[in-house]
Amino acid sequence: MLAAMRRTATVESASFSTVGQDLGDPAEGYAYAYCVGIEDLAALERYMYDPVHLEGDFGILPHLARLSAVRLSDDMDPELGGKIMRMHLKKVATYPEWGRLLDAIPDASIPTEA
């Protein structure tokens, strides 16, 4: 699974990435962390639909018991969160099986419907 995460993190649209052990409280239930820097919304859209990313998700998501999105940006646009959520929901609509994989994670904080 870590190899798939590392492949996914190296796609063209990622400015930087890291994959490794989660250093938080083990009681929170996270074993690994995945962080990717994305330059802008156009790069995020390319990242979300990149075949390597899609393949990685379909291999990784079925193995997760917990999932939490990182919600951090240096872009101070107050509408950024909504723009990203609309992009996410569009991907769920485009790939309903991907949305079902997200829904099947017992403890996930990523919505699949508005």
Is the confidence at residue 70, as pLDDT, over 80?
Answer: no
Decide if 114 is inside a domain.
no
Contacts within 8 Å (CB) and 24+ apart, 14-22: 14/38, 14/43, 14/47, 15/39, 15/43
Q: Give the model's pLDDT for residue 11.
A: 96
Within a domain: residue 113? no
* Residue 25 belongs to domain with CATH number: 3.30.70
Question: Tell me, what's the pLDDT at 95?
Answer: 96
pLDDT for 24 beyond 80: yes
Give how many domains the chain has, as a whole number.
1
pTM given for the model? 0.88
Would 21 be classed as within a structural domain? yes
Q: Is residue 38 part of a domain?
A: yes
What confidence score (pLDDT) does residue 42 get?
97
Q: What domain range includes position 50?
A: 2-108
Q: Is residue 31 part of a domain?
A: yes
Average pLDDT over every residue of 6-25: 95
pLDDT at position 80 over 90: yes
Alpha carbon distance 73, 107 (integer Å) = 24
